[in-house]
Structure 1
Amino acid sequence: MASPTDAPSWFGPPLPEDSPTPVEDSAFARLWRGFMTARIMIAVVLLLMQGSIYGLGQPVNVWLVALCSTYLAATLAVRLLAQPRTPGRTFDTQWVSTIGVDLIAFSALQFLQGANINYTPLFALPVLLGSVMGSLPLALGTAAGVTLVLLVDAWWISLQIQGDAAPRFLQSGLTGIGLFIVAFLANQLALRLAREEALARRSQHAARVQTQVNELVIETLADGVLVVDINGVVRAANPAARRLLGSAQGAVRNAPFVLAAEAAWQALVELARLTFVQHGSQISDIAISHAGQNPRRIHVRTRLTATHDTQAENLCVMFLQDLREMEARLRTEKLAAMGRMSAAVAHEIRNPLAAISQANALLDEDLTEPAQKQLTMLVRQNALRLAQIVEEVLDISRVQQQTAVAGPGLLDLDANVATICADWSRQTGAAARLSVALDAMGPRAVFDAGHLRRVLINLLDNALRYAGQQPDSIQVSTVVSSLGECSLLVWSDGEPLEQTVQRHLFEPFFSSESRSSGLGLYICRELCERHGALIGYQRAPRGPVAAAVEGNEFFVTFRAGPAQGDSPLSFDTILV
């Protein structure tokens, strides 16, 4: 029966106290085993008492010996063969049969008593058994039955012995009243213990579920979490924290481990010490640097576990965040906001710029002097440059807003690359500096042909801007990996890019030249990600091993589609 004051748990409704529980693991089972063992001990004592009476030379009633032996066998059978049942039912055959056996045995001993032995105290056992293990009606019924047995016994003795029978009846009545009181109090105490046990079980279940939820949340957190005690021992560490900490030997082992074991963690040790000493939170940016590894910058926040128990142990909880990831998220948010603003500005500039270009064209028709013609040409060139920048800014918005293509196109990479390179070389006049080697004749790439043209032309324009004047200073090639993925490589013999430039290559509005909008490579990356392709940069050698030339190489790795049997097209054939 559930307590009316029990509030529902966050993890679900409370379990009713009379619901089936693992009996073997409950206090009820321990009480049941205690009562059954006590019955066996009483049976053994009764049998030994009959033997001692016989040993003292007193006559022994054979029926009493048989009764004690039978009672011992019955108690042993119940203890060894029976199983405890959930209490709380008004009528239970197991409890009635067990209590009934006790009442019959003790009543027979009382009526057949010899040597003036009083067996009345034994009746307390069935009364307690019914009170603690059964329901209140069963407890009161057992007390009533014992009282009737005692009254009948007093009446029977009064018939056999002449004299005043009132004291015997008064004693039996007082004993019965006492048994009623014991039955009621024992039953109420048993119910209270049952409620407390059920409440403890619910609390334990809720705490166990809450612990599992906390562990799951902490394990999946992107931020690192360390739990450190006052001795500097890490009690718990989630995978993110172990990854951020690193170690000179490689991966950090699972907790517990000593935080001061690594020299690179001394800053964390100092933060934990300050947290315990000052009893307050600490915030700091630290660097973890292991020998032979690049330093990792980490933002650390510490908290001291709050406890109302003065004897409880305080723990320091550290929250670790990778500063590079934080800066990357902040930079992405800023770039997204700047992109939206730039798109709006570009859209507003478009119409006035078109009016300027048209007015300049009309003005150029009426001018005849070379100096004035030169000025209108300068206006036209800068207007075209502004128009190109506006178009690139608007392209970013178009790429970001477009939804994923339902069925991405499958293209023959070699044929498309050969056609694009041929068109680009004719327009730029860089055919002598361009070398094309196509070797992806098997699989087809999952990519849109128009987007491929845009990506490749942008990469070729960048290569032309920094490449030398020698033949083969720009090389375009296609290859197929062992996994069946085809890749496009654009190589040029330009100077190596600075590290700061490499880190921001594919970010919008970043360029190493003042006259560039810095949107070309960003748009290339957006188009590649749309089709599941990967674009990147690396420094790679080209040419014979003895005379290899280092150069800048941009690569695009495509998702592979089904192979096709078309013969590869040569670049020279398309160029002609």
Structure 2
Amino acid sequence: MAGSRPLSAEARVTLWRSLQTFTVTRVVIALVLLLYLGLDLDSGRLRIDPVNAETCIAYAAAAILFALVAARWQRRYLVQLGVQIATDLAAISLLYLASGGMRSGLGILYLFPLAGAAILAPLVLALFSASVATLFLLLESVWQLVLHEREPPLVQAGMYGAAFFACVLLVNRLAARLLGQEELASRRGTDLRVQQSINQIVIADVGDGILVADDEGRIHTGNPAARRMLGLEGKAEGFRLQDVPAFEPVAAAYMAWLSAPGEGAWFETIKPWQEGEGAGGVRGRRDQPVHLKLRFARVDTEGQAGGRSVIFMQDVSAIENQAQQLKLASMGRLTASIAHEVRNPLSAIGHATALLAEDLHGPAEVRLLKIVGDNVARVNRMVEDILQLSRKAQPNGEPVPLAHFLAELKAEFCEIHGLEGDIVWLGEAGDATVRFDPLHLHEVLLNLLNNAVRYASRKPGSIRIFPSSDATGRAELHVQDDGPGITPEVRAHLFEPFYTTSSKGTGLGLYLARELCLNNDAKLDYEYRFDQTALGPRKATGRFVISFLNAK
């Protein structure tokens, strides 16, 4: 034990526990000595050696007393240890003298108290105890020489003394190192517990949802934000994502990432769901859809079985709404001035351009007038979109048979764009009916089809429109093309007003389409779905999905 530096509370507990073990061992040794030295069985009958027996009995009684004191009164550690070692040395010395000195071979018993002192006492006290034992052996040998005038085994006594000092030094150094390692482990354990407490506070208060899942999709833990986003009640653990139909998009994205880990984000939508739709004892409900940005990270388990991954979830619906509100706030202030200051001059420019087109027929003039006319039409379309946005559209919802409605829409769209009929593929709608304002649904689908034809390959079936249903049975309408798809970076701003990646777009089409869907109790979103019939080589394809919340 290092006596120069203060010990921690854990180290002091360890020393007291070791001292109690030392006292119990002393009781056992005292009883063994009583049987070995106090009773003589060589003569064939039991005979008690008075000196050894009395010494052993006294030593055993003292050992029992020391054990009781160390267990009941944990005070004055060094005083108790010093008294015990002194008693050990005294008892062993008496037994050593009574048994004939060096020739008895009992000098080896000194190793017990000396080893205990080396472990439990400071190095100075341990060396002092070894010095006392060595001096006693040397003095006893000299006394034999003076009193009995016979040659004592001085060399053997010296070797015993050297062995005592070597044992004390070695055991003390080992004990000090072990005690230091225990203190270090205790400090590391304390730091780890503090760090775990901090992590729990941070994870509990962070706004992003965090789930810990294994390779089978089983959730092991989750923070309150994750439970709130998924609509779970109680603990978010002990179930598989695949067992809950509403969580199927998250499970599919997670499994796809496991098969091909990499950087990037996934955008998925959790539809409304009610308690009892999943397995695994999942409880909860969600009344509104939530759009999530998913990121995945692998936990480094250093080759251990049962790998873990962390699923980070961010509710981007609030971010999108906030961005839209900021843009709409500024747009609202511009609407009035645009209506009066831009629309009238724009009409005059368009009228003048039409008059010039009647008189000018040269190729250069026609090209320039066409440029002017196209840009006038573009600005006028932007003004109309802004004015329509400022006037809240009032829905006139009525049952719409999808089969007939989509057939008419396809014919009109192909005629406008001069497309072959097999380019747009319609899925089997059957007798599916949704409640929607027909004019609003027509405008929404035309907007989505205009975007699709811009990026599609125009091969047969390159644009698909088909009804479907989500995991909870609610009706959906999918619009998909075989184009390159929308990147996650663009997807994050897709429905923001005035955001566009096209030089000919206004950035208001998709925003207006989503607003019209919301006015009709529907939801428009861009989702990544995993299916074997996906267009092109990709199994995870993006498509626009209209979810009819009031129909199944």
Q: Please give the range of the TM-score, normalised by the shorter of the 2 chains.
A: 0.5 to 0.7
User: Does the 8 A contact of 1:17 with 1:198 survive in 2?
Assistant: no
Structure 1, unaligned runs of 5 or more: 3-15, 350-461, 467-497, 500-507, 509-576
Equivalent residue number for residue 19 of structure 1: 8
Name the amino acid aligned to 2:260. Answer: Q
Q: Contact (CA 8 Å) 1:230, 1:276: kept in 2 or not?
A: yes
Q: Is the 8 A contact 1:246 1:252 kept in 2?
A: no
Rounded to whole Å, the distance in 2 between the matches of 1:259 and 1:104 is 73
Superposition pairs of residues 230-249 of structure 1, within 5 angstroms: 230-246=215-231
- 1:214 Cα offset (Å): 0.6
Deviations for 1:99-155, whole angstroms, at most 9, x for unmatched residues?
001000001111111696321111001111111101110111111011011112212
Q: Secondary structure at the match of 2:104?
A: coil
Mark the CA change 1:254 to 1:329 in structure 2 (over 3 Å): closer, same or farther: same
Aligned equivalents of 1:201 and 1:29: distance in 2? 16
Deviation string 1:233-266 (CA, Å, 9 cap, x unpaired) is 211111111121126xxx3544233222201112
Of residues 66, 69, 73, the one that matches 1:81 is 69
C-alpha deviation, 1:86, in angstroms: 9.7
Amino acid at match of 1:120: G
Superposed CA offset, 1:394-426 (max 9, x none) = xxxxxxxxxxxxxxxxxxxxxxxxxxxxxxxxx
Cα separation, 2, equivalents of 1:95 and 1:229: 53
The Cα of 1:324 is off from its aligned counterpart by: 1.4
Distance of aligned partners of 1:74 and 1:278 in 2 relative to their CA distance in 1, 3 Å threshold? farther
- The alpha-carbon distance between structure 1 residues 22 and 192, as it changes in their structure 2 partners (threshold 3 A), is closer
**CA positional deviation for 1:328:** 2.1
Q: Percent identity?
A: 29
> Structure 1: how far apart are the matches of 2:47 and 2:100?
9
Aligned to 1:478: none
Secondary structure, counterpart of 1:45 in structure 2 = helix
Residue equivalent to 1:318: 311
C-alpha displacement at 1:22, in angstroms?
7.2
Question: Any residues of structure 2 matched to 1:506-525 within 5 Å, and which?
Answer: none
Q: Deviations over 1:242-300 (max 9, x none)?
A: 121126xxx35442332222011122222332333334345211122244644322111
What amino acid maps onto 1:264 in structure 2? A
1:48-103 deviations in whole A, cap 9, x for unaligned? 1135415744864312211101111111121122149999x9x9211110100100
Q: Tell me whether 1:153 sits opposite 2:140 in the alignment.
A: yes
Q: Using a 3 Å threshold, how does the CA distance of structure 1 residues 76 and 334 change in structure 2: closer, same or farther?
A: farther
Query: Out of 55, 66, 71, which is 1:67 matched to?
Result: 55
Equivalent runs, 1:196-207 vs 2, <5 Å:
196-207=181-192
Q: Are 1:23 and 1:84, in contact at CA under 8 Å, matched by a contact in 2?
A: no
Corresponding residue for residue 121 of structure 1: 108
CA distance in structure 2 between the aligned counterparts of 1:259 and 1:17, rounded to whole angstroms: 53
Match of 1:228 in 2: 213
In structure 2, the partner of 1:141 is: 128
Deviations 1:287-343 (A, max 9, x none): 222446443221111111234x2226431111112221121232345457779x97x
Q: Distance in 2 between matches of 1:275 and 1:30?
A: 52
Q: Is the 8 A contact 2:144 2:150 kept in 1?
A: no
Ranges in structure 2 where 5+ consecutive residues have no aligned partner? 275-286, 342-390, 395-439, 442-496, 498-552
Shift of 1:171: 0.8
In the alignment, residue 75 of structure 1 is paired with which amino acid? A
Closer/same/farther in 2, CA of residues 75 and 334 from structure 1, 3 Å limit:
farther
Q: Provide the alpha-carbon RMSD of the alignment.
A: 4.0
Write the mapping of 1:518-533 to structure 2, written as runs, cut at 5 A: none
CA separation of 1:277 and 1:52: change in aligned 2, threshold 3 A: farther
Give the TM-score taking structure 2 as reference length: 0.53
Does the CA-based 8 Å contact 1:110-1:120 persist in structure 2? yes
Tell me: CA distance 1:70–1:86, structure 2 relative to 1, closer, same or farther (3 Å): closer
Which residue of 1 is the match for residue 252 of structure 2?
Answer: 270
Aligned to 1:36: 23
* Alignment-mate amino acid for residue 121 of structure 1: I
Partner of 1:298: 292
Cα gap change, 1:86/1:184 in structure 2, threshold over 3 Å: closer, same or farther? farther
Cα gap change, 1:181 to 1:198, in 2 (>3 Å): same
Match of 2:320 among 313, 327, 332: 327
Could you give the per-residue CA deviations for residues 485-523 of structure 1, whole angstroms, max 9, x where no partner exists?
xxxxxxxxxxxxx99xxxxxxxx9xxxxxxxxxxxxxxx
Q: Secondary structure at the match of 2:10?
A: coil
Structure 2 partner of 1:472 = none
- Displacement, 1:220? 1.0
Question: Residues 78 and 260 (structure 1 numbering): CA distance in 2 closer, same or farther, change over 3 Å?
Answer: farther
- How many angstroms does 1:32 deviate by? 2.4
Matches of 2:166 and 2:141, distance apart in 1: 21
> Compared with structure 1, are the counterparts of its residues 333 and 177 closer, same or farther at alpha carbon in structure 2 (3 Å cutoff)?
farther
Q: TM-score, normalised by structure 1?
A: 0.51
Equivalent in the alignment of 1:45: 32
Once the two structures are superposed, the pairs formed by residues 94-493 of structure 1 within 5 Å of their partners are: 94-113=80-99, 117-165=104-152, 168-246=153-231, 251=233, 253-281=235-263, 283-291=265-273, 293-307=287-301, 309-311=302-304, 313-334=306-327
Distance in 1 separating the partners of 2:310 and 2:165:
58
CA distance in 1, matches of 2:30, 2:331: 92
Structure 1 residues 335 and 171, CA, compared in 2 at 3 Å: closer, same or farther?
farther
| 8 Å CA contact 1:99, 1:126 repeated in 2 | yes
Using the TM superposition, give the Cα deviation of residue 193 of structure 1 relative to its aligned residue in structure 2, in angstroms: 0.9
**Contact 1:228/1:272 (<8 A) preserved:** no
- Count of aligned pairs: 333
Q: Specify the code of the residue in structure 2 equivalent to 1:287.
A: T
- Give, in whole Å, the separation in 1 of the partners of 2:62 and 2:6: 31
In structure 2, C-alpha distance between the alignment counterparts of 1:313 and 1:179, rounded to whole Å? 52
